[in-house]
Structure 1
């Protein structure tokens, strides 16, 4: 399998007066899980469809291994749409074999691969069922198998965890990790930010068609506001400090948010002046909190 990078380079897309994407740029590296997060309508699905060639960008370019993505390249991409793209009256096994053959596999190879993924994703008892007779969760498993059956070089998955029970989420997470470990670039969108935080090597936050923040989870969390957790007999002293905002209070424990340039040692000094301090630590925002902050700030500046 060739190693490479999927590059989304300054793509833009407009529908009349509506700007769906504005100079969107990011890359997904070989062996990397890249989480693509944003509110509904932020542009995630549009960007993925352009990467697949389902839509054409007004400007910009999509590249794989430094070359513009063409028809042959797209056959090597595994795509999982948010809206299920399966034939409802076709049987699971027949459908997967058919899709593998469309991507260039021979019949025997396609059958072997389809059976492997059916077994791996817990669908063996449903292999001869019509897709429309499956539960929504099992349909989602078949949709993942359809993205994987031709052993793609790149995976692009739009909300792959939607509608899955916890066991299926664990199975899918393991599959994505294994694909990344084998050198496949994997990009997926999800509203389940705790899952993104746990799984992904890097994350991109999208707002109003633009990439507004990108980096590892640690980098993104470190870029957020400085927060301190302080536990002392009284917390009244915190309200008297300039450049400090009390965002949570629970008895003798409070969470403070510091303005840029505020010295945390000044906070410690003020707390000690009021009595003994039993806890004094930094608190980094979760990806969910960071996402809310970034999207809110971008919305106000738009």
Structure 2
């Protein structure tokens, strides 16, 4: 659906993007993560035509992405782009009309979305009367009002309480189920892990990881075993090529180097005492992210 290839962008002597490539398929939700200034917003703004790349391409449905194609996108910038003195429904409907919707259809869609997003407001309230979390919900409604085929969302969960996060996640999941491609950036890695089909990690303007959580875990540099043995903790001391990373009572987390070291660990654990748990440890996205950030740049 959306293909971004070899984007470069520099501001004077500062390189913002250095060959960024990523893709988005219909019905796929992709989390775009990285530190502040890594290049996430720049990539999204180029995709939306708000910035020009120095080189590279953005294509949609196997053709060049034109203004007409971008009209089928829903975009939510990190900075709120709402008119504070407009009434809420009128504002969302206005964004729908800017995307070519008839006035009546835009108004009906705006009413429906405001209700679906659980925006806490009166019928005559304007945006400036809302809390920051409710403004965030309105901003997403404005991105959704014209029923886009692609959603590009920059920090959509910022400022939301847990109920607001769940509401927005439910809306995005429904859109994904209907075939909408969703690309969003977030520093809330637990949300990315919970919601996304694929994760793209960017560092200093370069993509350093791209894949499903399963594939990122399988290519991780560190493999760790969790072993709970009812035995003296010293049983791990004699293991070759195995390092104890942490311990919580009888539960040890062991880093292993050799491919078949798990069998050595299991044999030693059985010999030491009663084995209550044995298995590979599943790293969280936060751990995978830190690992990607710590690898020396090429």
Question: TM-score of the superposition, structure 2-length normalised?
Answer: 0.95
- Alpha carbons of structure 1 residues 269 and 214: separation in structure 2 relative to 1, 3 Å: same
- Alpha carbons of structure 1 residues 13 and 126: separation in structure 2 relative to 1, 3 Å: farther
Which residues of 2 match residues 136-147 of structure 1 at below 5 A?
136-147=132-143
- Alpha carbons of structure 1 residues 49 and 280: separation in structure 2 relative to 1, 3 Å: same
Q: Does 1:161 align with 2:143?
A: no
Which residue matches 2:232? 234
> Using the alignment, how far apart are the partners of 2:197 and 2:15 within structure 1?
29
> Using the alignment, how far apart are the partners of 2:276 and 2:114 within structure 1?
55
Which residue matches 2:93? 97
Which residue matches 1:206? 202
> Using the alignment, how far apart are the partners of 2:72 and 2:283 within structure 1?
38
Which residue matches 1:253? 251
Which residues of 2 match residues 45-124 of structure 1 at below 5 A?
45-123=41-119
List gaps (5 residues or longer) in structure 2.
none
Per-residue CA distance 1:93-123 (angstroms, 9 max, x = gap) = 1211211111111111111111111111123
- Alpha carbons of structure 1 residues 137 and 301: separation in structure 2 relative to 1, 3 Å: same
Deviating more after overlay: 209-218 vs 134-143: 209-218
> Using the alignment, how far apart are the partners of 1:219 and 1:234 within structure 2?
36
Structure 2 SS opposite 1:84 = coil
- Alpha carbons of structure 1 residues 88 and 68: separation in structure 2 relative to 1, 3 Å: same
Q: Does 1:24 align with 2:16?
A: no
> Using the alignment, how far apart are the partners of 1:127 and 1:59 within structure 2?
47
Which residue matches 1:11? 7
> Using the alignment, how far apart are the partners of 1:217 and 1:291 within structure 2?
11
Which residue matches 1:267? 265
CA RMSD of aligned residues (A): 1.5
Is contact 2:155-2:187 (8 Å) kept? yes
- Alpha carbons of structure 1 residues 173 and 234: separation in structure 2 relative to 1, 3 Å: same
> Using the alignment, how far apart are the partners of 1:93 and 1:252 within structure 2?
58
1:124: how far off?
6.6
Question: TM-score of the superposition, structure 1-length normalised?
Answer: 0.94
- Alpha carbons of structure 1 residues 130 and 211: separation in structure 2 relative to 1, 3 Å: same
Is contact 2:241-2:261 (8 Å) kept? no
> Using the alignment, how far apart are the partners of 2:110 and 2:275 within structure 1?
61
1:301: how far off?
3.1
